[in-house]
Every structure is written in structure tokens, then in C-alpha cells.
Amino acid sequence: RQQRQQRQRGGSDPSTATDVPAADDDDDTAGPHDGEDEARTIPLQYQRPSEQESVQRAQAFFEQMQQRRSVRAFSADPIPKSVVDDVIATAGTAPSGANQQPWTFLVVRSQQLRSAIRAIVEAEEQINYRKRMGDKWVQDLAHLKTNWEKPYLDTAPVLVLVMKQVHGTQPDGSRQPHYYASESVSIAAGLLLTAAHNAGLVTLTSTPLNAGAKLRQLLKRPNNERVELLMPLGYPASGCHVPDISKKPLADIMIEY
């Protein structure tokens, strides 16, 4: 655990380009800019693999991730705490706008809280399915056999609420702007999903429509946080089935120039 925390503090991850000129999107060597004229740097910890190893690793990882599925039937078997910790820590390695890291991951194990979360979500989902979503949306979900009932919310041993911090707070109490917060949190959630699958866990990226404010109140979270995703985490139930669907082939999602 100590080694993982040291890696987090010392890691360096180059950012992708954005449409904002001169934006320092992922400065892993510092938090909010401290006024120094030049950013501090550290040597990149990197060992280039051979071309053959790269090909093998890319293929093996694709084959592993190709087995990932969204699951709605969970075993109640507990997850080792260290596994959950490492999954969340991996999500926290994501790049973010100006390295603001505008996320909080709420890990809920309490049965009482999980049941309360289910009650809040289902109450809103009944209204969503009957009124807010509209016929077309409901029809488009029909092949996935989803409805307003969410029994997995109190069956899965862990719920993770991915929270977006719309702004931070400076030491003097003033607001600290967060840049590209939605994009940053989305990348972190993708890493969480990947880390969970790599650890042998299953999950589901659910969006608790219109339930965010009540969930924030239940969990006593500050007003600058918003619920982005609600992800049950655990092992699949015995005999678990998933929808018979497929992903688009590479030719349909990639355009080369």
C-alpha cells in the first residue's frame, strides 16, 4: 500500500492536447500552480518494450477487455478491502485539467446505506421510466431488459459513487476553478471500470437520473459535488446472464488519415 501511494505521488502522465492554448492539463508534479516561473519536473519512469512485446501486450489486453460486460446480477460475497482500494487508486491516476483531480469516489459498504440508496434511486427511476424519459428512450432500452427496479444496489457488496467536483476550495475559502471537470471525471471512471475488470470484479455504469441531490444529502457531501455515476462493484451471481449484444467492429469506429 505504501508503495502504491508513493507511485501515485511520483507518477507522471503526459496529457492529451485540448482546444485551449497553453493549457497545462496534467501537471502531476504539483497541485494548483504555486506561482513558480517554471514547472518542476522529474525523470519519466519508462522502459520501452520491444515491438513484439508491444504487439503481444496490446492484443492480450484487448482480449481481456473484450470479456468485460455490464452486470446487473451480483453475488453478495465481500470484496477484499485492498482490492477496492487499488481499483480506486488506479482511477485516481487519471489525467485531469490542470491536474486539479476534480473527483471524489464514495465507497459504500453499509447495508443500511445501500438500501437507502436503492430506495432513492428506484423512487426517481419509476418517474423517469413513466414520464421523464419518453417512449423512444424506454423502447431503446427494452432489449437490455432494464426497468426502474435496481435490486443490485443492495445486493452488490460495494457501491461506488463517482462524484464530480464542479469547483474546489482555496485555503482562504475562495473558489478554485476546475477545468474540463466532466472530461476528467469520465477518464477516471473509465480507468475505474478497467481496473475493476482487471481485478476480476464486475460492475455497471449506472446514471441515477434526478437522484443526485438526494444521494448527496444522504451521504452528507458538499454542494460542489455532483453524482456522475453510480457503480455497483462485486462478483457476478451464480448463473448470471447478460444481454446477447456485440460491439461495433474496428472498421466502424476508426478512421485513418
pLDDT digits (tens, 9 = 90+) for 199-213: 999 999 999 889 999
- Span 82-133, pLDDT tens digits: 999 999 999 999 999 999 999 999 999 999 999 999 999 999 988 888 888 8
Residue at 221: amino acid letter:
R
Q: pLDDT higher for 118 or 5?
A: 118
Q: Tell me the three cell numbers of residue 29.
A: 508534479
List of residues 6+ apart from 67 with CB closer than 8 A: 197
Global pTM? 0.83
Q: What is the mean pLDDT of residues 228-251?
A: 95
Task: Name which of 243, 213, 234 is nearest 225 in CA terms.
Answer: 213
- CB atoms inside a 10 Å sphere around CB 210: 14
Is residue 13 classed as helix, strand or coil in its secondary structure?
A: coil
Asked if pLDDT for residue 52 goes beyond 90, the answer is: yes
| Cα gap 124→128, rounded to integer Å | 6
- Span 9-41, pLDDT tens digits: 444 343 333 334 344 455 443 454 445 557 799
| Cα gap 160→86, rounded to integer Å | 13
Question: Which stretches does DSSP call E strand in the chain?
Answer: 103-108, 158-165, 167-169, 175-177, 202-203, 225-234
Helices (H), 67-110: 81-91
Q: Tell me the three cell numbers of residue 177.
A: 476553478
Is residue 149 classed as helix, strand or coil in its secondary structure?
A: coil
* pLDDT for the residue 20: 41
- For 175, phi then psi, to 5°, come to -75, 140
Q: pLDDT higher for 222 or 135?
A: 222
* pLDDT for the residue 1: 56
* pLDDT for the residue 29: 38
* pLDDT for the residue 11: 42
Summary mean pLDDT of the chain:
88
Task: Name which of 128, 149, 148, 150 is nearest 209 in CA terms.
Answer: 128
Residue at 195: amino acid letter:
A
| Cα gap 231→84, rounded to integer Å | 12
| Residue found by looking up cell 451464480 in the block | 238
Going by the DSSP 8-state scheme, the letter that residue 128 receives in this structure is I
Q: How far is CA 4 from the centre of its chain?
A: 19
* pLDDT for the residue 129: 85
Q: pLDDT higher for 22 or 226?
A: 226
Going by the DSSP 8-state scheme, the letter that residue 26 receives in this structure is -
pLDDT level of residue 146 (50, 70, 90 thresholds) = confident
| Cα gap 30→34, rounded to integer Å | 8
| Cα gap 228→191, rounded to integer Å | 15
